[in-house]
């Protein structure tokens, strides 16, 4: 790479990719909420990642075979990444949507950058500036506002919705996954997504069996299949591809910040498409999250001083 930083075209290309990615991912929460009672969470998760895996293999098996020498030495690592970033996140999200609103689920995902920063610091000793620290502090405040439904007395009483608590598990998992993408071996994006989906599918099978053993399996009806079709095509396949490309362009920390756009898209879609109510504390949380992304992205664009 020439010069001290990315060219403007590459930066704005990454911004466009991330805007589309977050729109598709916000739609994932809407589809997941829409599917409640029409397809059980583990059925959605298993079909989701198995479908993407099969589609990629059918159309890109030569590319996958060509990248196998790069995949083999890191196979365990990549399968684990798929299990964490795809399966754990998806299971927590779809079960959360049984207990909480799509607006809450979407806005809570704005807390992901906090955990991207933390994981990047812990595993890769990544440095962050004060603007980025201030940015994710604002984001985290927004997450807390949602978790306590705008009433901070609920935090003292630990009166937090179970679905919102599950969303915290989801965003921690995806934050660690995003930071860990930094250590992926060099390969074509189709091969990477395929092997991550393989890991996700393998991890979902025992959980699917457990759901069945509990007698909670709900096989999709027409509405369930419609939701799953959207989930497979847009957030699972196209969204993952765009996100990985954006991480390559501007790095995990700065790409992770744009996950804060999820609350904006999610709130808009939840209100317009499934009629959920938008409350004042949702607006307050959104304001904090947008302020956070502004501070942190400004800090991320500043050049690092060489010593």
Those residues with Cβ within 8 angstroms of residue 182's Cβ, 6 or more apart along the chain or in another chain:
120, 124, 252
Q: Which two tokens stand for residue 9?
A: 């075209």
Mean pLDDT score, 82-88: 94
Domain contains 269: yes
Report phi then psi at 13, rounded to 5.
-65, -45
**What is the reported pLDDT for 204?**
97
Structural domain total, the chain: 1
Q: What is the pLDDT of residues 91-135, one digit of tens each?
A: 999 999 999 888 888 877 777 777 777 777 777 766 666 666 777
Query: Is 42 exposed, middle or buried (CB count within 10 Å of its CB: 0-12, 13-18, 19+)?
Result: buried
Domain contains 3: no
Residue 119: give the domain boundaries.
8-301
Domain contains 132: yes
pLDDT band with cut points at 50, 70 and 90 for residue 142: confident
pLDDT band with cut points at 50, 70 and 90 for residue 20: very high
User: Which residue, 291, 239, 256, 301, is CA-closest to 10?
Assistant: 301
Res. 55: pLDDT tops 70: yes
Domain contains 266: yes
**What is the reported pLDDT for 298?**
65
Domain contains 13: yes
Domain contains 306: no
Distance of CA 277 to the CA centre of its chain: 24
Res. 296: pLDDT tops 80: no
């Amino acid at each position: 790479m020439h010069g001290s930083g990315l060219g403007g075209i590459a930066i704005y290309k990454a911004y466009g990719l991330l805007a589309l990615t977050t729109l598709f991912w916000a739609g994932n929460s809407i589809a997941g909420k829409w599917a409640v009672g029409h397809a059980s969470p583990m059925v959605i998760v298993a079909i989701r990642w198995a479908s993407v895996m099969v589609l990629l293999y059918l159309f890109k098996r030569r590319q996958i075979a060509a990248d196998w020498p790069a995949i083999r030495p890191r196979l365990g690592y990549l399968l684990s990444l798929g299990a964490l970033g795809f399966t754990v996140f998806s299971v927590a999200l779809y079960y959360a949507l049984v207990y909480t609103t799509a607006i809450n689920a979407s806005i809570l995902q704005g807390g992901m950058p906090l955990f991207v920063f933390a994981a990047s610091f812990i595993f890769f000793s990544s440095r962050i500036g004060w603007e980025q620290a201030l940015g994710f502090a604002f984001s985290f405040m927004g997450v807390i506002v949602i978790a306590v439904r705008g009433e901070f007395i609920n935090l003292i009483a630990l009166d937090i919705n179970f679905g919102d608590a599950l969303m915290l598990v989801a965003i921690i998992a995806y934050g660690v996954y995003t930071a860990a993408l930094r250590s992926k071996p060099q390969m074509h994006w189709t091969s990477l997504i395929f092997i991550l989906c393989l890991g996700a599918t393998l991890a979902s099978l025992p959980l699917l069996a457990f759901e069945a053993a509990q007698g909670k399996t709900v096989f999709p009806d027409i509405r369930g299949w419609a939701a799953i079709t959207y989930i497979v095509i847009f957030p699972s396949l196209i969204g993952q591809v765009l996100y990985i490309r954006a991480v390559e362009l501007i790095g995990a920390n700065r790409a992770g910040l744009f996950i804060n756009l999820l609350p904006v898209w999610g709130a808009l879609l939840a209100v317009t498409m499934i009629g959920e109510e938008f409350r004042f504390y949702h607006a307050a949380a959104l304001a904090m999250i947008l302020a956070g992304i502004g501070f942190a992205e400004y800090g991320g664009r500043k050049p690092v001083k060489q010593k």
